[in-house]
Amino acid sequence: MAPSVAERLLERLDQAGVSGGLCSIEAAAEFGVDHQTLVGAVKSLQALGEVIEAEARTATRWELSPEGEEVLRCGSPEVRLFRSLPEEGLPQSEAMKLPGGSLGFSKAMANKWVRLDKGAPGGPRVLRAVLSVQDTVQEHLGQVRAGGAQGLPERERTELKRRKLLLEVTLKSYWIRKGSAFSTALARPETELTPEMIATGSWRRLPFKPYNFSSLGLPPACGHLHPLLKVRSQLRQIFLEMGFTEMPTDNFVESSFWNFDALFQPQQHPARDQHDTFFLLDPAEAPQLPPGYSSKVKKVHSQGGYGSQGYRYEWKVEEARKNLLRTHTTSASARALFRLAQQEKFTPVKYFSIDRVFRNESLDATHLAEFHQVEGVVADRGLTLGHLMGTLRQFFTKLGISQLRFKPAYNPYTEPSMEVFSYHEGLKKWVEVGNSGVFRPELLLPMGLPENVSVIAWGLSLERPTMIKYGIKNIRELMGHRVNLQMVYDSPMCRLDV
Amino acid sequence: MPTVSVKRELLFRALGRSYTDEEFDELCFEFGLELDEITSEKDIISKEKGEEKAKGASDVVLYKIDVPANRYDLLCLEGLVRGLQVFKERINLPRFEKIIPAEGEGQRLIITEQTAQIRPHAVAAVLRNITFTKDRYDSFIDLQEKLHQNICRKRALVAIGTHDLDTITGPFTYTAKAPSEIKFKPLNQSKEYTASQIMDLYRTDSHLRHYLHLIENKPRYPVIYDSNGVVLSMPPIINGDHTKISLNTRNVFIECTGTDITKAKIVLDIIVTMFSEYCEKPFTVEAVEVVYPNGKTHIYPELAYRTEKVKPEYINKKVGISETPSSLAKLLTRMCLKSHVTGNGNQLEIEIPPTRADIIHACDIVEDAAIAYGYNNIQMVIPKTYTIANQCSQEDIADKLGMDISATNAVRIANPKTTEFQVARTTLLPGLLKTIAANKKMPLPLKLFEISDIVVKDPSTDVGARNYRHLCAIYYNKSPGFEIIHGLLDRVMQVMEVPPNEEKGYTIKAAEVQIFRFIGTNAYEICAKLISVLSGAAFFPGRCAEVFAKGQSIGKLGVVHPDVITKFELTMPCSVLEINIEPFV
């Protein structure tokens, strides 16, 4: 096996003597290898420790450009023009066609080697102005080519550079010397411990290549959960810790009845407009509404009852049958509460759900036609607004939000209603983090729940806390197929309480 | 939520004191309002149309205040100020009085039977000897617009017309006529038009064109005449120019027509209670007799006061406070619900004024007591409700196998927002393919999965559709990597404890791929195709297998057909798995 460049370099250094050094460029020329290859060898030797010392140097070298090469071969344009010009001169237009051309002409004019007789018969004529000329440009280039660039006056070099005949090349090189641990016997340090080394005990005498601790490790082959999934599982965890049972929400298609009417939301309510809700073409209508219950809902809307004045309008079953993509998971809560009311004996419950809802909204950086709603519901005898606030405080504290205040609000299906605000340290203001309230009796009593049972509930979106937690500005990077996978790869684990 | 804009200076003058913006914001928060924006006309114009256009516009400071959607009594400066002043106990809520003129002296509005088919209800009232100023007049017009946009549901349920009573002579007739028979000079126009011409005239009007559809295709249009045949209005589109009110108007005739009588009454009550304060005898309203086609009559406005009886402990128990009956009465009175203690102290009598149509149940009274008490003064308590948490699990596993995913079985949206979203998805695959297309710069291989619900029609459910939980995974690399997707299926089955055997476990069997041509050119059409053909044609022939669990097909896996890859603007081979995991969760 032929000795490697590194080995040859060590040999060569050994010959140079202790005090001597070596230029990497010269060494490359001597070994007949590319300079880069030699630099590679220097780097690999440096990695071994103090075997060699290499001092980085920057050298400037002058080289001839392709045009410069041509001038060196054929002479400068001005000289070529001068020499081709006959003694009687030529009309200007023809002189331009001589070797050297217009560039040679203008240079020769500047040097006052030729002159232009404007009054000559038949138009301006170019005539020689001196007898002979010397091609200093060619000579200078020759001098550079012979390695004598340093001998040229600065002014000349600059002029040749300006004429793009000379190029200044910067060369990085090394001045190589023996290091304190110099040895020609290249004992290549081991990169890794092997089973053989352990078996033979050779590890005791072998040098090991040091690790580069500042580089990054190999990324593990692993999956990445979407940030929404991470925040969702945290929220589920919080609900489960608080004793909440997950509600079934596996029906994106819902009837207007469960989405609105059961929640005592009147049929003329703006949310029931085409502009706010996606209605279905097929299946356009729900085949069945709960028979006894829907007539009670009709009555409480149109005539009142259960202590209510009602909305006093003509309730239409066709309107209630209209199918839609559910606009909130509260429709699922209504179904769960209805099931609860059908039990023989009422038992207190705590329910939660986190699932997809759909709104016919104008799409922008913070609004999508579908998003996730987080909802919590507690049904028990004698629950108060204070209980709602206490529950909210527990929930939001677990979310890492401790500074809360409550603003009176209006929701069609809760009364009293309160918006939950938290103080945002970054924005230095109170921001809304959720909506809540006590379900109206007009909603609960027709279901058949006992009169002294109160139901408190609250909701928030899953996307908003996720966007805040992960610093995502555009919801379209979070939801939908335009999700940014790099963001998914890079997002850290979710701990909401810190 | 409606937003009311008021001039800050006018507001503070009416409130009798000034506030810093922060103080006023705080007051709003406490009362359930939201100071949404502090701006000026100049700011608004310059934001919408550029600074150039805003030159010369007023820079008087405006407060934009969000009002709860059910509080129609707070939709104008007059109402807001009254609500806040009563809340702060600086004034008592005025008592509104209906003055019924002597027999034969009052105004009458006669409804003919022709209105029944189009807009059957009408109510009316008169504000006598009112004094308008520019600000009051503007507020009067603004309130009507706010009511139109909110409770009136863009004039569909109720439309309001206000007229200078001194320009017309009663009795008035509310009727419906063929469009060609109605002819008058509409508000702010210079000549007369027939009703049909009016519809054409306003077809391009940025404001009025939104209301034309309410009557456009009806054979008869609603119209109100005075006894001399002067047109007051053609509801719900436009008033006549003849009766228009000005700053000098002294007597205002207000009519509300509509399809919902309850709302028409509320709207009329709100207008008269808000603006009767500028009448010579403040807070009085002159009644109008409405005569129905059957000859019966009714006096409007209703201005009804209703008394509710609520037990103090009911309020205390619902809010979680323990206030004395008299202090509860005081709290409610601050919310415009004048209350006092009766009996031996265990009953509250609460008077619901005509301005508070939102109070329909005792729970509404409870909320007002809580607001006046201060939500943030209520003690927070953790409920003692004892429950054991459960995660959601699915029942009836057996019947969830083997569903039909075909184009005919997809749920279709009636009013889709975008072409991409015309059906609810029946497969997750197109979404994952599009995700890869949007992330082509990411290093290979791309391995994505989604576990999510899809929707299909199902006549056996109460709404006619149901969700299924799907698992979809895709492997996108320089080689299709079928074995990787297959390995994933094996692993998923292993962790779900489904063994690889035919009887009780799972198997995969070569699936026939029907030869299928893509007609569409864009990804959406391909999605639609995919939905219809996930049964096979999305796969490369001979590279597709059907997954069976317990003998029933639950999905497919295979190498994606090159045509599908290119139509999704992808360049690499890929393999996918999509199965229904409902039976296992």
* Smallest Cα distance from B458 to chain A, Å: 9
| Cβ–Cβ contact B467 with A under 8 A | yes
Give the count of beta carbons closer than 10 Å to the beta carbon of residue B206. Answer: 7
For the segment B198-204, the average pLDDT, to the nearest whole number, is 92
Tokens of A220: 């593990």
Q: Is the pLDDT higher at B425 or at A184?
A: B425
Q: Which of B182, B174, B162, B161 is nearest to B122 (CA)?
A: B174
Q: Do B463 and A287 touch (CB under 8 A)?
A: yes
Q: Do A389 and B29 touch (CB under 8 A)?
A: no
Tokens of B573: 């081979």
Tokens of B482: 């079928």
Contact between A77 and A163 (Cβ < 8 Å): no
Q: Is the pLDDT higher at B194 or at B47?
A: B194
CA dist., res. B526 & res. B533, Å (int)? 10
pLDDT of residue B478 exceeding 60: yes
Q: Is the pLDDT higher at B540 or at B372?
A: B372
pLDDT of residue B406 exceeding 80: no
Give the count of beta carbons closer than 10 Å to the beta carbon of residue A290. Answer: 17
Contact between B164 and B247 (Cβ < 8 Å): no
pLDDT of residue B404 exceeding 60: no
pLDDT of residue B427 exceeding 80: yes
Q: Is the dihedral of CA B402, B406, B409, B414 positive or negative?
A: positive
Q: Is the dihedral of CA B242, B246, B252, B253 positive or negative?
A: positive
Q: What percent of chain B has pLDDT over 90?
A: 68
Sorted by sequence, the CB contacts under 8 Å of residue B580 that are 6+ apart come out as B400, B401, B403, B468, B469, B470, B554, B555
ipTM associated with this complex: 0.87
Report pLDDT for B393. 57
Contact between A422 and A404 (Cβ < 8 Å): yes
**Mean pLDDT of all residues in chain B?**
88
| Cβ–Cβ contact B361 with A under 8 A | yes
Q: Which of A466, A476, A282, A480 is nearest to B428 (CA)?
A: A480
- Using CB atoms within 10 Å of the CB of residue A397, give its burial: 0 to 12 exposed, 13 to 18 middle, 19+ buried: middle
pLDDT of residue B260 exceeding 70: yes
- Comparing B3-88 with B399-584, is the CATH topology the same? no
Report pLDDT for A489. 86
CA dist., res. B257 & res. B173, Å (int)? 12
Sorted by sequence, the CB contacts under 8 Å of residue B139 that are 6+ apart come out as B76, B77, B78
CATH number of B3-88: 3.30.56.10
Tokens of B223: 């119209």
Q: Which of A247, A275, A271, A246 is nearest to A261 (CA)?
A: A271
Question: What is the DSSP track for A324-379?
Answer: EE-S-THHHHHHHHHHHHHSSS---EEEEEEEEEE--PPPBTTB-SEEEEEEEEEE
Contact between B322 and B329 (Cβ < 8 Å): no
Length of chain B: 585
Q: Is the dihedral of CA A191, A192, A196, A202 positive or negative?
A: positive
Alpha-helical runs (H) found in B298-426: 312-319, 325-333, 362-373
Tokens 């323990």, located at residue: B322
| Cβ–Cβ contact A438 with B under 8 A | yes
SS3 B477: coil
SS3 B259: coil
Q: How confident is the model at residue B512 (pLDDT cuts 50, 70, 90)?
A: low
Tokens of A123: 């138009």
Sorted by sequence, the CB contacts under 8 Å of residue A284 that are 6+ apart come out as A322, A323, B414
Which chain A residues touch B362 with a CB distance below 8 Å? 307, 441
Give the count of beta carbons closer than 10 Å to the beta carbon of residue B40. Answer: 17
pLDDT of residue B516 exceeding 60: no
SS3 B447: strand
Beta bridge partners of B99: B286
| Cβ–Cβ contact A101 with B under 8 A | no
CATH number of B306-375: 3.30.56.10
Report pLDDT for A17. 62
Q: Do A384 and B69 touch (CB under 8 A)?
A: no
For the segment B320-324, the average pLDDT, to the nearest whole number, is 95
Report pLDDT for A19. 61
pLDDT digits (tens, 9 = 90+) for B530-584: 544 444 457 888 888 889 888 888 888 999 888 888 888 899 999 999 998 887 7
In chain A, residues 211-270 whose CB comes closer than 8 Å to chain B: 223, 236, 239-255, 258, 268, 270
Report pLDDT for A72. 84
Which chain A residues touch B350 with a CB distance below 8 Å? none
Q: Which of B567, B579, B566, B559 is nearest to B427 (CA)?
A: B579
Report the alpha-carbon angle B334-B335-B338, nearest 5. Answer: 75
CA dist., res. B424 & res. B411, Å (int)? 5
Report pLDDT for B513. 56
Report pLDDT for A210. 81
CA dist., res. B237 & res. B213, Å (int)? 10
Q: Under CATH, to which class is B399-584 assigned?
A: alpha beta
Which chain A residues touch B380 with a CB distance below 8 Å? 386, 389-390, 392-393
pLDDT digits (tens, 9 = 90+) for A395-451: 999 888 888 999 999 999 999 999 999 888 777 888 889 999 999 999 999 999 999
CA dist., res. B577 & res. A462, Å (int)? 28
Give the count of beta carbons closer than 10 Å to the beta carbon of residue B52. Answer: 8
SS3 A248: coil
Identify the segments of chain A with pLDDT beneath 50. none
- Using CB atoms within 10 Å of the CB of residue B404, give its burial: 0 to 12 exposed, 13 to 18 middle, 19+ buried: exposed
| Cβ–Cβ contact B213 with A under 8 A | no
**Closest Cβ–Cβ partner in B157, B317, B386 for A384:** B317
Which chain A residues touch B363 with a CB distance below 8 Å? 415-416, 438, 440-441
Report the alpha-carbon angle B405-B406-B410, nearest 5. Answer: 85
Contact between B244 and B233 (Cβ < 8 Å): no
Report pLDDT for B532. 46
pLDDT of residue B295 exceeding 50: yes
Q: Do B32 and A438 touch (CB under 8 A)?
A: no
Q: How confident is the model at residue B519 (pLDDT cuts 50, 70, 90)?
A: very low
A337-351, B49-63, B64-78: least confidently modelled range: B49-63
CA distances, B276 to each of A392, B179, B224 (Å) = 44, 35, 24
Q: Which of B258, B25, B439 is nearest to A485 (CA)?
A: B439
Q: Which helix (H) or strand (E) holds B49?
A: helix B41-49
CA dist., res. A313 & res. B260, Å (int)? 7
Please tell me the number of Cα atoms within 13 Å of A84 on its side-chain side.
Answer: 19
Q: Do A391 and B383 touch (CB under 8 A)?
A: yes
User: CATH classification of B97-300 is 3.50.40.10, yes or no?
Assistant: yes
Please tell me the number of Cα atoms within 13 Å of B9 on its side-chain side.
Answer: 5
CA dist., res. B490 & res. B349, Å (int)? 71
Q: Is the pLDDT higher at B504 or at A260?
A: A260
Contact between A238 and A375 (Cβ < 8 Å): no
Q: How confident is the model at residue B523 (pLDDT cuts 50, 70, 90)?
A: very low
Report pLDDT for B74. 95
Contact between A458 and A434 (Cβ < 8 Å): yes
Q: Do B394 and A250 touch (CB under 8 A)?
A: yes
For residue B279, give the DSSP letter. B
CATH number of A228-490: 3.30.930.10
Report pLDDT for B328. 96
Contact between B191 and B184 (Cβ < 8 Å): no
